[in-house]
């Protein structure tokens, strides 16, 4: 699939078939996502794939802050990706000071770029995805025994799509573009 076609046709998928996603496919997606740029090439993003149904269920029921829509999506997805990021590297100089006024918020920027790259790679391989932002970071981290030096950046439910999604209305280029 060509890059622009992939960008224009990727949709957030919230309903999945029960068909498993192979480890080879997961590795191919992560390999592609590893090419996402990062602050000074720090490569802080990690992909924790939750296959275990009990752990996935624990996150769905105890890690979604009571948001039933996300609970249902996680329970209906064959896999859940807990995107995490290594703390204390991104946005910092070697002496520990911050390079810009964004301070450590570059971590989320880099994790966001990596998450979108992950979702585009998945789409290219026929795997659907949706990035979920409503979660209890501490509960999710505990459920997967996340290392202390990492923070949860996002949850991505993935699997083979069981729905066709129309593109939502988009703003026009004139609405988005400002030439100075």
Q: Cα 54 to chain center, whole Å?
A: 21
Do 47 and 144 form a contact (C-beta atoms < 8 A)? no
Beta-carbon-side half-sphere exposure of residue 147 (alpha carbons within 13 Å) = 11
Per-residue model confidence (pLDDT) at position 165: 86
Which among 141, 176, 135, 174 is positioned nearest to 157, based on CA atoms?
135
| CB contact set of 19 (below 8 Å; sequence gap of 6+) | 78, 159, 160
Query: What pTM, to 2 d.p., does this model score?
Result: 0.94
Per-residue model confidence (pLDDT) at position 50: 98
pLDDT tens sequence across 90-138:
888 888 888 888 888 889 999 999 999 999 999 999 999 999 999 999 9
- CA distances 99 to 40, 106, 178, Å, are 11, 10, 27
Per-residue model confidence (pLDDT) at position 140: 98
DSSP 40: G
| CB contact set of 122 (below 8 Å; sequence gap of 6+) | 29, 128, 129, 158
156 beta partners: 81, 131
DSSP 96: S
- CA distances 112 to 53, 54, 77, 136, Å, are 26, 27, 21, 18
Mind listing the pLDDT tens digit of every residue in the chain (180 residues)?
A: 899 999 998 999 999 999 999 999 999 999 999 999 998 899 999 999 999 999 999 999 999 999 999 999 999 999 999 999 999 888 888 888 888 888 888 899 999 999 999 999 999 999 999 999 999 999 999 999 999 999 999 999 999 999 888 888 999 999 999 999
């Amino acid at each position: 699939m060509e890059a622009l076609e992939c960008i224009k046709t990727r949709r957030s998928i919230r309903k999945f078939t029960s068909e498993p996603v192979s480890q080879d496919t997961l590795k191919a997606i992560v390999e592609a996502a590893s090419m996402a740029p990062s602050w000074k090439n720090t490569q802080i993003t990690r992909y924790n794939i939750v296959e275990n149904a009990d752990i996935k269920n624990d996150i769905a029921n105890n890690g979604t802050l009571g948001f039933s829509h996300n609970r249902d999506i996680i329970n209906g997805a064959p896999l859940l990706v807990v995107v995490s990021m290594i703390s204390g590297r991104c946005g910092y100089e070697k002496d520990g000071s911050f390079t810009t006024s964004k301070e450590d918020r570059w971590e989320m920027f880099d994790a966001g770029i990596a998450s979108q790259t992950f979702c585009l790679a998945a789409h290219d391989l026929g795997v659907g995805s949706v990035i979920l932002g409503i979660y209890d970071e501490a509960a999710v981290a505990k459920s997967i025994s996340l290392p202390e030096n990492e923070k949860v950046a996002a949850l991505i439910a993935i699997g083979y799509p069981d729905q066709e999604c129309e593109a939502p209305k988009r703003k026009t280029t004139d609405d988005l573009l400002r030439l100075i």
